[in-house]
A and B are shown apart, each in its own frame.
Chain A
């Protein structure tokens, strides 16, 4: 004896947020029923376990049916549906992701190979495999769609997936990282959260990509501006030219003196740090080095400062003066490139300089 078929269809879909979240989190129907029972819905509504099971299965089926629509949200509007607003709401949830999970795949190729590793990631992050798959597929879907589109990345994502501003930016960051294959998994980078990276991605997208100059090119927000990267080589002069280096150092030191406790360390490390930053700039023409951008930043700059116990304020002070002083150097002609470079570096480092 068994219920062979059990459906409930409303003229407007009834959706239980809690069940939806459980579904998104990859709970099986039975697990979801357990969670709900513990949550005490039953007492509230004088229902039995059967009723709960039936309701949960029904909700899961509804979600599965909606999932198809959620994959191409632009179609949502045209279904002769009374559920449009509901679908929109569920959409945000559907495309939401776990920071822990995204940290794991950030910058990785969204390939079958990575997908195979999802169970490891699932075990590591505590996010269920189903949920991992959904999030992974979301990344991939968004990536595929915006890959071929012209125009600003964030805007494209928002239009095609009807996502919120914030979520669209996050997706843009993911797409950007994936496209440039930035290395984020190294141990030294583990302390950085997804939001740190997302912020940096935003900076890079706004300042270093093709789109920062010309906004009607394909992939404009995804690829770094090649010309700019070439020009960055010119900055080398700051460390290769001994006079320039000394002059820069003295300018910075004069400005900093007495303003920070870490002054001595700053003075001692100036050449090292400056070399680090400029070298990163100079190497960015190599794809390989672009990938290591963040690890380089940490190794060449953040770690030395941290070992010298700079405070965040110290860091801000130092970088500001470091950037500005370069303008005063007479022989340094690459002011524009320098600003474009340092502007991003500065804000990235500010964001990344924490425990």
Chain B
């Protein structure tokens, strides 16, 4: 129930001039939380007011603490007229509610106005005194930690991974309320910002409740999204993976279970106790009691006409999911053992087979179009008769595509076939796992990388899409309908996974694309078999007794082995024995949505592979429109898949990681963009080449043409092999004894089924490999396609790119990073565009964007663009918008090919044990061993790029004649807060001034390799202040006061190279709206968006710095909606960003700074006091 929030307004600086007459401002501040408002005194006639207010105290429910932001409004006092607002600051106080995170928020926050942008800054102090709530029926969930990071955060270990949590809240969009007609744009924007802030808070709280319910204490891979549905409302939804995390602290006791709120503590104890006793029997006891139907392998019919077996009836345990009743809704993994676990809390029975006819849910009927796999995927399956055809006004057609196409390429092999000695045990294990997982409603995990041993097998990508009409929602203000929609999709995903013989889905994500009243819901993930021990409660500590059940497959290839039965393959695929262990079957190609497992064996380097596609569609309304879209979707997926496959072959690779397919809907077109990182997995067979086949034999010119193309393709493949250093060890195929008798089904990717095949032998120029991939040219489309295949330019020398966290094949990152966001909007002026023309435009747009990045970042060579995240949208009829966020990281070229010899995992004990006991090992790794290899690289100056090195030497030379360099290096560390600006300023200035002497015009000839400026700066940033005491610097500091400036690093990755994260401070989730009525004056749309993005960065940095952090990891821009009306000189933009605020230190530094320790101590003491 209670908590006391205290806020103090200290000062402001650089406020805008609000009174033209005096060129000054009479500023005061309103501090609002919930319905309580306090005001400071007016500070007359100052642009740098010092309020130094008292502590404003708010006594509130912890529920409110979680939902509401602290709202600070800076106003200009006006005696006669209304006070003018200068701007606002919203502070999310959630990080203060978690005992382990920040203890105080203190810092300069940019004052933000939706019309004018940032207008000065305000210094605020915020603290929270929380009294623990022991009420078991409470609605708050303080203390649950949230992470955007999609892996187990460094400096934690996962005691248990509970599973999927999701939540969705709906509200009316203020922009569409009647009042919006009379209020100002500013008021409307602010209402929206505030509402979304509130909704995010509420959402987090509710998710937190679910997590506590499951016995967890954290959400990892938290993904929150907004759907701006327009008239029908504003939806904020989130998914994540509930975990129990233990903090790994170097030195102090790692047991942090006590930090969890008391009422959850007993629960988790209950769960854990059996294991702690150490006498938990392993599988033997579990098995008999397992209740779920253990149907591990499901055969998919191979003919396209038969109805998919899974779609019509779905387990639907959540019909009414109004978000308040959700406690009951997440079924827990029911412990098969008769453990005394809170009875009555699990309202949901364990069996997932509670199937409900979906008819009862309006709009949720789904027509699963399970396509037969071997046949031409175009043949759309007629809706099975059993599917629901009731004619409610709703569009009920949902297109689910996936299995066939994606899987066709992906996946495979359960060890079942190959399993020798461990056969029966394995089956038992499998069954057990299956049951454990099947008992959950959705065995989904938003994580994309896993502790070693977690992932047993990977099946392939599963995805589902569904088209919905927003204007047909009966009760738009309630979440039921949307809940049902997502429920439906998740069920579909689940059944797809099952069809692949997998019991879980990892790397799971959900997204929407909305245009007018049509909404495409998408979900995708990777079907996988997981090691059960991380799912079961209390399984962790039993450890080694279990390992004999473990899959004997080595970690570097085990995940590639097919998870399903060879005899009942869900689709035709070519299986071979694993090229690595030779014991089990692997598919020829593997597609996944996860990151490359760190233990996987890879040959050469990876690269970004994109498939791009545009499809025109007629403009239409309502149901017709929705039908048109759903009819197009399968073809788009197919085309995208074909493109990916071809490009993969062209690069001589055999697996895709981080696959993300986005389909975006516009009024007159659909855009599809698939991005993934291609790699050559050593365990998988070498891909064959690509072979071109002509349609009409005898036509000489045509044949010649084909020969030329074939040659080009072969050349490209050869070039790519070299480029990505793919030199797999040649294997004698015989030795494998692979039973692949059936001829390759070449027709699979044929563009048509006309004649073909006969002339293949003549034209066989192929790559020497027996099974080349055949592309037939039978019309101009095909020619175009092949051309476009070849147009993708490889990145320039020195560059690599990938969309996964790190580049497979590069292991020695240096510390140079540059995070960036880029947005491009392209206007199609040509009214009569063809699909081909559009495709070309779209492809060029993406390619040019990449080229721009390479060019801009050329000074960082050798470097790799990591986590390239493309988002496409069709904001208006003739516009295509592409937004990209990525990070460029430098690496050491010389050692780029070698994997660090000592793998961090190796810590004594047998191999099996290692895998099994990952959590313990993991923590140890992260803190110590893991850092070893890279810290070697990151010695002293070697961290810096050559230019920077030069500059640093200069600095040392100039300023520190007497100080040994090593001192400098250590002080450079990550003590990023430079104390007083004066110091920092003076050092830099000294150097800069010196440098500037030479910059006088004419005296310096600008070199061609120019970016040394940026370089020297980045190195300067690392040089922390030098001993002060020079009279001049002291003097010049006077005018700036003692303010501190913090350099905050940002990265979309979960880590920073060469830097160790020592503390997670909480999630950053911010939503901003910016509007302008003077677009031209602000430099057009580009100028407007540029400054807005820069402002968003600045605000994120400020908030992180105020929490005491110095970096943001897992940063992402979830939403960037730009609306413009150049004729009216107006534009509006919404941006949503999120990430994890962290404190990090250089790996060379052993101990965190003193202040850090203090924070820790205060945390502890606060906790003690509270309990």
Chain A interface (Cβ within 8 Å of chain B)?
Answer: 1-21, 39-41, 44-48, 50-52, 54-55, 57-58, 61-62, 64-65, 74-75, 77-86, 88-90, 92-93, 96-99, 155, 158-160, 162-167
Convert B977-988 into 0s and 1s, putting 1 for each residue whose CB lies closer than 8 angstroms to a CB of A.
Answer: 000010011001
Q: Which of A2, A99, A158 contacts B829 (CB 8 A)?
A: A2
Q: How far is the CA of A85 from the CA of B989 in the complex (A)?
A: 8
Q: How far is the CA of A11 from the CA of B14 in the complex (A)?
A: 22
Please determine whether A1 and B827 come into contact, CB atoms closer than 8 angstroms. Answer: yes
Please determine whether A92 and B1094 come into contact, CB atoms closer than 8 angstroms. Answer: no
5 smallest CB-CB distances across A and B, nearest first, come from A92-B996, A164-B993, A5-B825, A80-B1102, A10-B820
Please determine whether B1083 and A64 come into contact, CB atoms closer than 8 angstroms. Answer: yes
Q: How many A-B residue pairs have CB under 8 A?
A: 228
Minimum CB–CB distance from B1047 to chain A (whole Å) comes to: 6
Minimum CB–CB distance from A54 to chain B (whole Å) comes to: 5
Asked, given contacts A9-B1094, A10-B819, whether A47 binds B992 with beta carbons under 8 Å apart, the answer is no
**In the complex, what residue of chain A is closest to B881 when comparing beta carbons?**
A5
Report which residue of A14, A18, A58, A93 has the largest number of chain B beta carbons within 10 angstroms of its beta carbon.
A14
Asked, given contacts A9-B821, A14-B1011, A17-B1010, whether A62 binds B1090 with beta carbons under 8 Å apart, the answer is yes
Which chain B residues lie closer than 8 Å to A46 at the CB level? 793, 796-797, 854
Please determine whether B1099 and A80 come into contact, CB atoms closer than 8 angstroms. Answer: yes
Please determine whether A11 and B820 come into contact, CB atoms closer than 8 angstroms. Answer: yes
Known pairs A4-B825, A159-B1035. 20 more at Cβ < 8 A? Answer: A2-B829, A3-B824, A8-B822, A9-B821, A14-B856, A15-B1011, A15-B1014, A16-B1010, A47-B855, A58-B856, A61-B1083, A78-B14, A78-B108, A82-B1021, A85-B1017, A93-B999, A96-B1001, A98-B1001, A159-B1039, A162-B985
Q: Is B1085 an interface residue (CB 8 A)?
A: yes
Minimum CB–CB distance from A320 to chain B (whole Å) comes to: 32
**In the complex, what residue of chain A is closest to B990 when comparing beta carbons?**
A164
Please determine whether B1093 and A45 come into contact, CB atoms closer than 8 angstroms. Answer: no
Please determine whether A6 and B824 come into contact, CB atoms closer than 8 angstroms. Answer: yes
Q: Is the interface of B mostly helix, strand, loop or mixed?
A: helix
Q: Is B393 an interface residue (CB 8 A)?
A: no
Which chain B residues lie closer than 8 Å to A167 at the CB level? 996, 1000
Please determine whether B999 and A3 come into contact, CB atoms closer than 8 angstroms. Answer: no
Q: Is the interface of A mostly helix, strand, loop or mixed?
A: helix
Please determine whether B993 and A92 come into contact, CB atoms closer than 8 angstroms. Answer: yes
Please determine whether B818 and A4 come into contact, CB atoms closer than 8 angstroms. Answer: no
Please determine whether B1045 and A89 come into contact, CB atoms closer than 8 angstroms. Answer: no
Q: Which of A55, A82, A84, A158 contacts B852 (CB 8 A)?
A: A55
Which chain B residues lie closer than 8 Å to A155 at the CB level? 1035
Please determine whether B1012 and A5 come into contact, CB atoms closer than 8 angstroms. Answer: no
Instruction: Return 19 A-B CB contacts under 8 Å, by A number.
Output: A3-B826, A7-B822, A7-B824, A8-B821, A9-B821, A11-B819, A14-B856, A14-B1011, A16-B1014, A45-B855, A48-B848, A51-B851, A65-B1094, A77-B981, A86-B1017, A89-B992, A98-B1001, A160-B1039, A167-B1000
**In the complex, what residue of chain A is closest to B120 when comparing beta carbons?**
A78
Please determine whether B1094 and A88 come into contact, CB atoms closer than 8 angstroms. Answer: no
Please determine whether A74 and B1040 come into contact, CB atoms closer than 8 angstroms. Answer: yes
Please determine whether B989 and A162 come into contact, CB atoms closer than 8 angstroms. Answer: yes
Minimum CB–CB distance from B25 to chain A (whole Å) comes to: 15
Q: How far is the CA of A223 from the CA of B1021 in the complex (A)?
A: 41
Which chain A residues lie closer than 8 Å to B881 at the CB level? 5
**In the complex, what residue of chain A is closest to B14 when comparing beta carbons?**
A75
Please determine whether B988 and A84 come into contact, CB atoms closer than 8 angstroms. Answer: yes
Report which residue of B1001, B1008, B1086, B1101 has the largest number of chain A beta carbons within 10 angstroms of its beta carbon.
B1001
**In the complex, what residue of chain B is closest to A166 when comparing beta carbons?**
B997
Which chain A residues lie closer than 8 Å to B848 at the CB level? 48, 50-51, 54
Q: Is B1043 an interface residue (CB 8 A)?
A: yes
Q: How far is the CA of A159 from the CA of B988 in the complex (A)?
A: 14
Q: How far is the CA of A98 from the CA of B796 in the complex (A)?
A: 38
Q: How far is the CA of A45 from the CA of B985 in the complex (A)?
A: 35
Please determine whether A158 and B121 come into contact, CB atoms closer than 8 angstroms. Answer: no
Q: Which of B822, B856, B1036, B1050 contacts A158 (CB 8 A)?
A: B1036
Q: Which of B1016, B1045, B1090, B1097 contacts A7 (CB 8 A)?
A: B1090
**In the complex, what residue of chain B is closest to A39 when comparing beta carbons?**
B1008
Q: How far is the CA of A101 from the CA of B261 in the complex (A)?
A: 71
Q: Is B1122 an interface residue (CB 8 A)?
A: yes
Convert B1089-1104 into 0s and 1s, putting 1 for each residue whose CB lies closer than 8 angstroms to a CB of A.
Answer: 1110110011101100
Q: Is B857 an interface residue (CB 8 A)?
A: yes
**In the complex, what residue of chain B is closest to A86 when comparing beta carbons?**
B1017
Minimum CB–CB distance from B1115 to chain A (whole Å) comes to: 9
Asked, given contacts A11-B1050, A40-B1008, A96-B1000, whether A2 binds B827 with beta carbons under 8 Å apart, the answer is yes
Asked, given contacts A12-B818, A61-B1086, A62-B1090, whether A5 binds B1017 with beta carbons under 8 Å apart, the answer is no
Q: Is B1013 an interface residue (CB 8 A)?
A: yes
Q: How far is the CA of A48 from the CA of B881 in the complex (A)?
A: 21
Q: How far is the CA of A145 from the CA of B880 in the complex (A)?
A: 47
Please determine whether B1043 and A164 come into contact, CB atoms closer than 8 angstroms. Answer: no
Which chain B residues lie closer than 8 Å to A40 at the CB level? 1008
Asked, given contacts A64-B1083, A74-B1039, A80-B1102, whether A47 binds B851 with beta carbons under 8 Å apart, the answer is yes
Minimum CB–CB distance from A37 to chain B (whole Å) comes to: 12
Q: How far is the CA of A62 from the CA of B1021 in the complex (A)?
A: 20
**In the complex, what residue of chain B is closest to A25 when comparing beta carbons?**
B1001
**In the complex, what residue of chain A is closest to B830 when comparing beta carbons?**
A1
Please determine whether B855 and A52 come into contact, CB atoms closer than 8 angstroms. Answer: yes
Q: How far is the CA of A10 from the CA of B13 in the complex (A)?
A: 25
Which chain B residues lie closer than 8 Å to A52 at the CB level? 855
Which chain A residues lie closer than 8 Å to B1101 at the CB level? 80-82
Which chain A residues lie closer than 8 Å to B732 at the CB level? none
Q: How far is the CA of A329 from the CA of B99 in the complex (A)?
A: 87
Minimum CB–CB distance from B690 to chain A (whole Å) comes to: 25
Please determine whether B1085 and A5 come into contact, CB atoms closer than 8 angstroms. Answer: yes
Please determine whether A65 and B1090 come into contact, CB atoms closer than 8 angstroms. Answer: yes
Q: How far is the CA of A57 from the CA of B1085 in the complex (A)?
A: 13
Q: Which of B803-830 contact A (CB under 8 A)?
A: 818-830
Q: How far is the CA of A74 from the CA of B13 in the complex (A)?
A: 12
**In the complex, what residue of chain A is closest to B1050 when comparing beta carbons?**
A11
Please determine whether A165 and B993 come into contact, CB atoms closer than 8 angstroms. Answer: yes
Q: How far is the CA of A83 from the CA of B1017 in the complex (A)?
A: 8
**In the complex, what residue of chain A is closest to B1098 when comparing beta carbons?**
A80
Asked, given contacts A89-B995, A167-B996, whether A81 binds B1098 with beta carbons under 8 Å apart, the answer is yes
Q: Which of B996, B1006, B1043 contacts A21 (CB 8 A)?
A: B1006
Minimum CB–CB distance from A179 to chain B (whole Å) comes to: 23
Q: How far is the CA of A6 from the CA of B1017 in the complex (A)?
A: 25
Minimum CB–CB distance from B885 to chain A (whole Å) comes to: 10
Please determine whether B852 and A51 come into contact, CB atoms closer than 8 angstroms. Answer: yes
Asked, given contacts A80-B108, A164-B996, whether A16 binds B1011 with beta carbons under 8 Å apart, the answer is yes
Q: Which of A6, A15, A54, A78 contacts B121 (CB 8 A)?
A: A78
Which chain A residues lie closer than 8 Å to B1050 at the CB level? 11
Which chain B residues lie closer than 8 Å to A19 at the CB level? 1010
**In the complex, what residue of chain B is closest to A65 when comparing beta carbons?**
B1091
Q: Which of A7, A18, A92 contacts B823 (CB 8 A)?
A: A7
Please determine whether B822 and A89 come into contact, CB atoms closer than 8 angstroms. Answer: no
Report which residue of B110, B856, B1011, B1021 has the largest number of chain A beta carbons within 10 angstroms of its beta carbon.
B856
Which chain B residues lie closer than 8 Å to A13 at the CB level? 1014
Please determine whether B851 and A4 come into contact, CB atoms closer than 8 angstroms. Answer: no
Minimum CB–CB distance from A271 to chain B (whole Å) comes to: 44
Minimum CB–CB distance from B1079 to chain A (whole Å) comes to: 11
Q: Is B1048 an interface residue (CB 8 A)?
A: yes
**In the complex, what residue of chain A is closest to B844 when comparing beta carbons?**
A50
Which chain A residues lie closer than 8 Å to B821 at the CB level? 8-9
**In the complex, what residue of chain B is closest to A168 when comparing beta carbons?**
B993
**In the complex, what residue of chain B is closest to A170 when comparing beta carbons?**
B1000
Q: Is B719 an interface residue (CB 8 A)?
A: no
Please determine whether A80 and B1011 come into contact, CB atoms closer than 8 angstroms. Answer: no
Asked, given contacts A74-B1039, A92-B999, whether A9 binds B820 with beta carbons under 8 Å apart, the answer is yes
Please determine whether B822 and A17 come into contact, CB atoms closer than 8 angstroms. Answer: no
Which chain A residues lie closer than 8 Å to B1038 at the CB level? 159
Which chain B residues lie closer than 8 Å to A159 at the CB level? 1035-1036, 1038-1039
